[in-house]
Amino acid sequence: MARHIGIVACSAEGAALCYRTLCSEAPRLMGEHAHPEITMHTHPLADYMVHIRSGDWAAVAELMLDSCRKVAGCGARFAICPDNTIHQAFGLVEPRSPIPWLHIARVVAEEARRCRFGRLGILGTRYLMEGPVYPDALAPAGIATLVPDDAERERINAIIFGELVNGVFTEASRGYLNQVMARLKARGANAAVLGCTEIPLIVRPDDAPLPTLDSTRLLARAALGQAIRSGGAA
């Protein structure tokens, strides 16, 4: 028996990709049509955005905790959140959580360390690229970070909130993200973190200028491993 996974969701497309990854990759490890029990809860993205835009991370934490309590009440034994930006509130969530969590950026950091990447370009919302989530997760592993310049951050943020979270994926935006990665490569990045959970739906690793670290699928795979490894534990 695998442990029940709780998904604390924020934006629909990223959460859906995480859920699909869990369900599609589990049979290889668990048998045909098998996957861990999964419960997901999300408040509307609009509720999160009010607090993100005002920098009220304590209020973001309250929304995350409310979702966490709901999935725990349904039997989830640990939680994941397929949204990088709201991990800025993680330090306010973890001490009060009824169940343990996997931290998306720490999962990415572990993969970066395994791949021996020393400097990562960070792609995501403006709040993520300008915030502490990835520097804090990567610094203990000795991994440096680079972010796009001001104008690039603004355009990437507009692509995410104007297109990606709404399920709109254009070739123009994919090309632009590749251009940004090329410039990060020229500045010394040796891989790029796809640090918005929707970006993996538009970036193609086979034509990206840098190796990519897909935060959404890496989190799902880590959760699947955790669920299976600890399935027999009390």
Domain co-membership, 204 together with 224: no
Q: Tell me what pLDDT residue 1 has.
A: 84
Domain co-membership, 83 together with 161: no
Q: pLDDT by residue (tens digit) across 110-138?
A: 999 999 999 999 999 999 999 999 999 99
Query: Which residues constitute the domain of residue 178?
Result: 105-215
Domain co-membership, 63 together with 147: no
Residue 168 within a domain:
yes
Which CATH number belongs to the domain containing residue 191 in this structure?
3.40.50.1860
Q: Tell me what pLDDT residue 234 has.
A: 39
Residue 173 within a domain:
yes
Tens place of pLDDT per residue across the chain (234 aa)? 899 999 999 999 999 999 999 999 999 999 999 999 999 999 999 999 999 999 999 999 999 999 999 999 999 999 999 999 999 999 999 999 999 999 999 999 999 999 999 999 999 999 999 999 999 999 999 999 999 999 999 999 999 999 999 999 999 999 999 999 999 999 999 999 999 999 999 999 999 999 999 999 999 999 999 999 987 553
Q: Which residues contact 208 (CB under 8 A, 6 or more apart)?
A: 178, 181, 192
Domain co-membership, 111 together with 208: yes
- Torsion sign over Cα 80, 43, 154, 133: negative
Question: Rounded distance, CA 138 to CA 175, Å?
Answer: 27
221 is written with which tokens? Answer: 């795979």
Residue 142 within a domain:
yes
Q: Tell me what pLDDT residue 232 has.
A: 54
26 is written with which tokens? Answer: 């589990």
Per the structure, the count of domains in the chain is 2
213 is written with which tokens? Answer: 């670290």
Domain co-membership, 89 together with 120: no
Q: Supply φ then ψ for residue 30, to 5 degrees.
A: -115, -15
Helices (H) and strands (E) in the chain, counts: 10, 7
- pTM value? 0.96
Q: pLDDT by residue (tens digit) across 10-36?
A: 999 999 999 999 999 999 999 999 999
Residue 155 within a domain:
yes
- Residue 9: strand pairing partners: 42
Residue 234 within a domain:
no
Q: Tell me what pLDDT residue 230 has.
A: 80
- Helix (H/G/I), strand (E/B), else coil: 44: coil
String of DSSP letters for the chain: -PPPEEEEE-SHHHHHHHHHHHHHHHHHHH-TT----EEEEE--HHHHHHHHHHT-HHHHHHHHHHHHHHHHHTT-SEEE---SGGGGGHHHHGGG-SS-B--HHHHHHHHHHHHT--EEEEES-HHHHTSSHHHHHHGGGT-EEE---HHHHHHHHHHHHHTGGGT---HHHHHHHHHHHHHHHHTT-SEEEE-STTGGGT--TTT-SS-EEEHHHHHHHHHHHHHHHTTT--
Domain co-membership, 125 together with 114: yes
Domain co-membership, 208 together with 192: yes
Domain co-membership, 201 together with 126: yes
